[in-house]
Amino acid sequence: MRIPIHYNVRNLTVRKTTSAMTVVGIALTVAILVADFALISGLRTVFASTAHPAHVLVLRKGASGEVSSSLPRSAYEDLKFTAGIAQKETGDPFASLEVVTVINLPSVDSPEGMNVSLRGLTTIGIHMRNVAIREGRWFRAGQREIVVGTSIASRYPAARIGRSLTFGRGEWLVVGVMDAGRSAANSEIWGELGQISSDFNRQDTLSSVLLRAENAATLPALINTLNDDRRLGVNAMSERTYYENQTVAGAPLQYLGLLVSVIMGIGSSFAAMNTMFTAVSKRTREIATLRALGFSRGSVLVSFLIESIILSAIAGVFGCLIALPLNNFQTGIGNFVTFSEIAFQFQVTPTAMLGGVAFAILLGGIGGFFPARAASRLHITAALKEV
């Protein structure tokens, strides 16, 4: 014979103060955990949105990122006609030679300045990416003009249309704001390859080459061909792999969030345990009566365990509601691969919320088991004698 659920719900409402304190403690723990999940999900969304399934990124052998890569122009001339690279209608290959460096700009959050990625590229590089001009126009070849991503325009007051930024050998006019959806390009500044490379003395040694394979199926073969060519001395990888590796930018915060959640979870579990032990101590005669009515030890144990889990599930939902306003909140984080800031939006996904509720239920199960076992082991005669 099982004890009905409404019995547990009624007991939780009777103990409003202790129940509320336990809910708050577990809810805050869940909120931190969900926020941690939302951060990593937001970063992964940015990098997944940036990568094209048929794109190959070519760096100097041994380089881990575009900023640290120095690829000679001669290597580009040798590899751009490799078999397996898609071609335009004109017969020219989809191959974009690019230079990437870092400049410092004062932002809303950091008046002293933050590192921002600066990319020099040509028209083919723009055409190969899913970007569009939101305001203004694209830069013109041979001109000291730049286009900034939407995140740059919103977070850096100096990077607005009509204003000038000073870097390299002089001033650069902001002529446009580009919208790249949720991709990392929104956190970059683009300019004409010749002008950018000249300002940073990198006319002959640039950063990377972006290639487009004929299709996703031929991409592995193209990568192997490039990597096996010792004459080129390059490190080719899929663009998706390159950006997936950059999720390491959020690893310290992810581990810190998990550590804080675990520490708070231990405290919350003890809080739930204390709440349930208090309930047991105040309901010994009631428990004895249940046993006298024929409810087994197992029924009592399960009943008190369910009571703790219900309390924790409510706390889990409450914790998700606390974290929900973070959804689509935009911020920036330092990227250890590009040495610059990348903007992203927190993504409070259903998976993150389900994980938060599951974590709360786990805490409730751990915190409620020992009090539930203690309740099930009460002796009927001794409990009935207590006043």
Instruction: Sketch the domain layout of the chain as residue ranges.
Output: 5-48+249-385, 55-212
Answer whether residue 318 shows pLDDT above 90: yes
pLDDT score recorded for residue 387 = 44
Higher pLDDT, 243 or 175: 175
Rounded average pLDDT over 148-173: 91
DSSP string over 153-184: HHH-TTSSTT-EEEETTEEEEEEEEEE-TTSG
Among 18-32, 51-65, 75-89, the least confident range: 18-32
Answer whether residue 37 shows pLDDT above 90: no
Answer whether residue 86 shows pLDDT above 70: yes
Answer whether residue 104 shows pLDDT above 90: no
What is the maximal distance between C-alpha atoms in the chain?
96
pLDDT-based confidence at residue 294 (cuts at 50, 70, 90): low
pLDDT score recorded for residue 384 = 53
Both tokens assigned to 340 = 């610059």
Cβ contact 362:354 at 8 Å = no
Query: Taking each helix axis from N to C terminus, what angle separates 251-282 and 16-50, rounded to the nearest 10 degrees?
Result: 160
Among 28-37, 204-213, 349-358, the least confident range: 28-37
Answer whether residue 344 shows pLDDT above 70: yes
Answer whether residue 379 shows pLDDT above 50: yes
pLDDT score recorded for residue 121 = 95
Q: What is the mean pLDDT of the chain?
A: 83
d(CA 35, CA 324): 9
Among 207-216, 235-244, 304-313, the least confident range: 304-313
Rounded average pLDDT over 137-159: 91
d(CA 199, CA 142): 12
Rounded average pLDDT over 268-296: 66
d(CA 322, CA 345): 17
Q: Where are the alpha helices (DSSP H) in the chain?
A: 5-14, 16-50, 73-79, 123-127, 150-155, 193-199, 219-228, 239-245, 251-282, 284-292, 297-323, 350-376, 380-385
Higher pLDDT, 272 or 360: 360
pLDDT-based confidence at residue 287 (cuts at 50, 70, 90): low
Answer whether residue 292 shows pLDDT above 70: no
Cβ contact 225:231 at 8 Å = no
User: Residue 72: beta bridge partners?
Assistant: 205
Among 44-58, 98-112, 209-223, 262-276, the least confident range: 262-276
Rounded average pLDDT over 204-215: 93
Rounded average pLDDT over 37-64: 86
User: Within 10 Å of residue 324's Cβ, how many Cβ atoms?
Assistant: 13
